[in-house]
Structure 1
């Protein structure tokens, strides 16, 4: 019974939200984050934005669109002054949501912000916005697709330069445009195929159309063999986010627990995109061939790695021979001397790591935007599977082949939020003069 009542209440709330959206309620919220700050931005969206701005400023005339204007802000119910700040008027459809919008840039003290929010809440037709509702309204009015909305969320959460660049590209529509081009190709192929099925008997469509388009770290110890579990930490290196896994050393262990640690280390080694192979600089050969053999005894061939020779502070004479070997490069991978005790070589290691990450991940400003959402990968995988079945069925059953194209296109449409049938009909009538 309790579950039924909860579901019923949830259904009523959802129905109320739909009714509110249908009535065109005006929403408001703090869009600059919460807490004490120098300036807080309070945003409204909806048909009541004009009246709200007029009521709070006490002036019937609005400032020119998209131009900041200094105004005294007061409570319409009591005429009490609340603040003196900047206001901006964004008439629809040239606004973030596509609706009439207004912004009040007020001082960020909690008393000022709460006073302005209370005043807005007392105005008829205005209500507090739900999480993400401004973006939902922008999507509903075609101001951005789902990939751009996700890019906006990623941009807000971005912690590194690479994440910021990728999210900005996605928010500005690059990923959506890429999916749209694919979708247009599938739409055209589907339109041609359906036209051939429907009209080929009347000789209105040639057969050739079928050929068109398609955590905390762990306790450390100087005693060898004491690292057992894989310890992971997230880092930002050169603007690229990475997860660094510290494992047990690779050795012939005799203790059963240490053997398990070595086994886990080898498993993680096979999964890694890049390996930092840390060797004792005082215990390795100094010539490149011997050094390469020592490394090869630990790692499988062609493993992408950086050779890190630690304990450089123990080398006699500064380790000139090893430094020469590291600088020589081939046949060795990128290599550097390091002293975890003194910090010597740490900057060079970070530079090598950043270069290798750039090579692995690519330039976030070049090429197509990367996939940042698991649902994109899911729908693209389903799209590819549908296209593979289309390729097998187009010579056996055109009806089934058309359904596979339709399914592939639907999966692309679910990524961007654009799923419809009218554009298929548009292409049929544009490419084929049916009824001529």
Structure 2
């Protein structure tokens, strides 16, 4: 990280203001080259920005932020200029011509913050989710992770485990001494308590469910109003709804937010045994696959023939020939709107109960896997009698904690994570 990087960190031009960030050892020299001086640290100053030939680029507010007390841990300069394309393009071209400067790649500012110890890996992952958040619940959960809620918990677990490891090492190193012969009486109790706390986190709703939305699949035989209901629930004519059997040939999905809760609705092909052609057969196969991956199925077919846990929905109740259901959870008409408000409220309650709570950190698949490995290592250690095997179990648990915080991260994994960020972040 000897290069100095720069990028537009505000929205794409044209805009009222463009914010260009510069980070690295040459940030101060770059500011002098464009503004003609180095302003007082951490105080906004008005300056005329000029290119190498002395041509005026813009009049802008400039900030000089010497490291390490910066977001990246490096010297940082910030140019708050007018947001026209030509102005931003001219300033970026002038910066690119300076020695030691180059354009930043996706997420490179955040990656430098991680490398310089300003944030750990769990916080960086939370920040990536925060930038991608589209609903209030996604924002609140990602904010908890980005703010270090989970990192503080893991750091506490790690410190407690280190204390237990130290007690164990004393037994191994000084077993022949009179004052250190056995493990403390509460040693296994403390390990069990740690294991129980981790188990509580493993039982929480996962971040993937929140990121993708609570998956609701509408299913049943043909011509029971699945596509019409789908259109009503997503608020658009996304699906073609006709009386012709087999109109829906594929799984159609649309994300929707109800009261800040993300849901993903899926309309599926009508399920029946005698598919009309190969394309319809493929649609039915995909519909069955969607049922397997659903968080909830709204079953519009004959009562009792849906998958386990599905909600029985009596549709088309405004028709004389509607399918009769004795114990339907909801009775609706997507045409008249009868029962739709009640169904929507029930869906919100179900999704809210299945997704992470606002402000509650949620684990990604990577984090869940590492934490599960640590928990299994602790469980194995707790059932051992040999101090050497117990010590190995505690070591493996610490490896998982280190992986969560980024102490053992690989370059490939870091490339994947920071590649999720936009340029300029």
TM-score normalised by structure 1 residue count? 0.71
Q: What are the within-5 Å matches in structure 2 for residues 140-289 of structure 1?
A: 140-209=115-184, 211-212=186-187, 213-214=190-191, 220-224=241-245, 227=248, 229-249=250-270, 253-254=273-274, 268-269=290-291, 271-278=293-300
Query: 1:32-89, CA deviations, whole angstroms, 9 ceiling, x for partnerless residues?
Result: 24343222111011232223223322234x1451x433322222x2221111122222
| Counterpart contact for 2:136–2:260, Cα < 8 Å | yes
Please state if 1:310 is matched with 2:299: no
Query: 1:352-380, CA deviations, whole angstroms, 9 ceiling, x for partnerless residues?
Result: 322221011142324xx1113x3212222
Aligned CA distance change for structure 1 residues 227 and 304 (closer, same or farther; 3 Å): same
Q: Any gaps of 5 or more consecutive residues in structure 2?
A: 192-236, 410-425
Using the TM superposition, give the Cα deviation of residue 246 of structure 1 relative to its aligned residue in structure 2, in angstroms: 2.5
Between 404-413 and 177-186, report the one with greater CA deviation: 177-186
Provide the residue aligned with 1:376 in structure 2: 367
Q: Any gaps of 5 or more consecutive residues in structure 1?
A: 1-20, 280-293, 421-436
- The partner residue of 2:305 within 285, 298, 302 is 298
RMSD, aligned α-carbons: 3.4
- The partner residue of 2:406 within 410, 417, 436 is 417
Query: 1:177-228, CA deviations, whole angstroms, 9 ceiling, x for partnerless residues?
Result: 22222222322222221221112222343524374232x9665442346656
Between 219-228 and 205-214, report the one with greater CA deviation: 219-228
- Secondary structure at the aligned position of 2:19 is classed as strand
- Secondary structure at the aligned position of 2:243 is classed as coil
State the alpha-carbon separation in 1 of the partners of residues 64 and 131 from structure 2.
24
Provide the residue aligned with 1:58 in structure 2: 36
Query: 1:252-272, CA deviations, whole angstroms, 9 ceiling, x for partnerless residues?
Result: x45587888777656644543
TM-score normalised by structure 2 residue count? 0.73
Provide the residue aligned with 1:13 in structure 2: none
- Secondary structure at the aligned position of 1:123 is classed as coil
| Counterpart contact for 2:141–2:356, Cα < 8 Å | no
| Counterpart contact for 1:193–1:210, Cα < 8 Å | no
| Counterpart contact for 1:273–1:304, Cα < 8 Å | no
Query: 1:101-122, CA deviations, whole angstroms, 9 ceiling, x for partnerless residues?
Result: 1111111222111211122223
| Counterpart contact for 2:314–2:328, Cα < 8 Å | no
State the alpha-carbon separation in 2 of the partners of residues 265 and 311 from structure 1.
21
- The partner residue of 1:340 within 331, 334, 337 is 334
State the alpha-carbon separation in 1 of the partners of residues 270 and 105 from structure 2.
51
| Counterpart contact for 1:32–1:42, Cα < 8 Å | yes
Using the TM superposition, give the Cα deviation of residue 138 of structure 1 relative to its aligned residue in structure 2, in angstroms: 0.7
Larger RCO, structure (CA 8 Å, separation 6 or more) = 2
Aligned CA distance change for structure 1 residues 34 and 300 (closer, same or farther; 3 Å): closer
Provide the residue aligned with 2:381 in structure 1: 390
Provide the residue aligned with 2:203 in structure 1: none
Query: 1:320-379, CA deviations, whole angstroms, 9 ceiling, x for partnerless residues?
Result: xx9xx99xxxx864x3x543234555444333322221011142324xx1113x321222
- The partner residue of 2:20 within 42, 60, 68 is 42
| Counterpart contact for 2:174–2:181, Cα < 8 Å | no
Provide the residue aligned with 2:395 in structure 1: 406
| Counterpart contact for 2:374–2:396, Cα < 8 Å | yes
- The partner residue of 2:91 within 113, 116, 137 is 116
Using the TM superposition, give the Cα deviation of residue 385 of structure 1 relative to its aligned residue in structure 2, in angstroms: 2.9
Using the TM superposition, give the Cα deviation of residue 299 of structure 1 relative to its aligned residue in structure 2, in angstroms: 4.0
Q: Which structure carries more helix by proportion?
A: 1
Using the TM superposition, give the Cα deviation of residue 163 of structure 1 relative to its aligned residue in structure 2, in angstroms: 1.7
State the alpha-carbon separation in 2 of the partners of residues 312 and 153 from structure 1.
45
Aligned CA distance change for structure 1 residues 100 and 332 (closer, same or farther; 3 Å): same
State the alpha-carbon separation in 1 of the partners of residues 145 and 281 from structure 2.
46
Aligned CA distance change for structure 1 residues 230 and 64 (closer, same or farther; 3 Å): closer
- Secondary structure at the aligned position of 1:233 is classed as strand
State the alpha-carbon separation in 2 of the partners of residues 239 and 275 from structure 1.
21
| Counterpart contact for 1:31–1:43, Cα < 8 Å | yes
Aligned CA distance change for structure 1 residues 186 and 309 (closer, same or farther; 3 Å): same
Provide the residue aligned with 1:282 in structure 2: none
- Secondary structure at the aligned position of 2:300 is classed as strand
- Secondary structure at the aligned position of 2:175 is classed as helix
Between 163-172 and 45-54, report the one with greater CA deviation: 45-54
